[in-house]
Amino acid sequence: GETHQDTALSYHNLGAFYQNEYIYMNPKAYDYYNKALTIRKKVLGEDHLDTAMTYSALSSLNYEREGYRTGMQYAYNAMTSALKHVDKTHIKMATIYRNLGRLSYWMGNAPQSQKYLKKALTIRKSVLGNDHIMTLEVYRDLILLGRYDYDGFLQRYKYAIIALFLL
């Protein structure tokens, strides 16, 4: 049914599809995420981990659309909800911290951005390893802040790309 949690998951995945296919300017990504959020809040509650992850997806989408203030609110909602269910070092928190870091940077708060990005980097290095592509995304973000060595990143990135093709 239209208010079942599986329906919410389908809407969330459709939002992710439109976002990940780099057609995030298409309003369908935002519409699908919002449908998922509405159902999840109603069925699972505001503080459920799945609700938190939809908030996180909306924060990322708003970042990509340059809706930084709205994205920041979604990211804070994601963090608040998620921390009621997982430890601050959980891998899902790394995504939320990365979103907060990127949004903080574009809102003019580089020190806060660096703080969140370093949290994301620590978690991803611990869980995924130093050369995982998702860890390298955070290194790239820190390079944009001028807070990481570009040559070291480039070597890791080349290694990760080669590893992806060998899998």
pLDDT tens-digit series, residues 20-79: 776 556 788 999 999 999 999 999 999 999 999 999 999 999 988 888 999 999 999 999
> By the 8 A CB rule, do 119 and 108 touch?
no
pLDDT of residue 160: 57
**Closest C-alpha to 60, from 28, 91, 19:** 19
Rounded-to-integer distance, Cα 138 and Cα 117, Å: 7
pLDDT of residue 87: 96
Stronger pLDDT, 132 or 163, i.e. the higher one: 132
Say whether pLDDT at 162 is over 70.
Answer: no
pLDDT of residue 158: 65
pLDDT of residue 152: 62
pLDDT of residue 150: 59
> By the 8 A CB rule, do 29 and 35 touch?
no
> By the 8 A CB rule, do 123 and 94 touch?
yes
Say whether pLDDT at 144 is over 50.
Answer: yes
pLDDT in tens, 92-134: 999 999 999 999 999 999 899 999 999 999 999 999 998 888 9
pLDDT of residue 167: 47
Rounded-to-integer distance, Cα 101 and Cα 141, Å: 9
pLDDT of residue 18: 82
pLDDT of residue 70: 95
Q: What is the DSSP letter of 162?
A: H
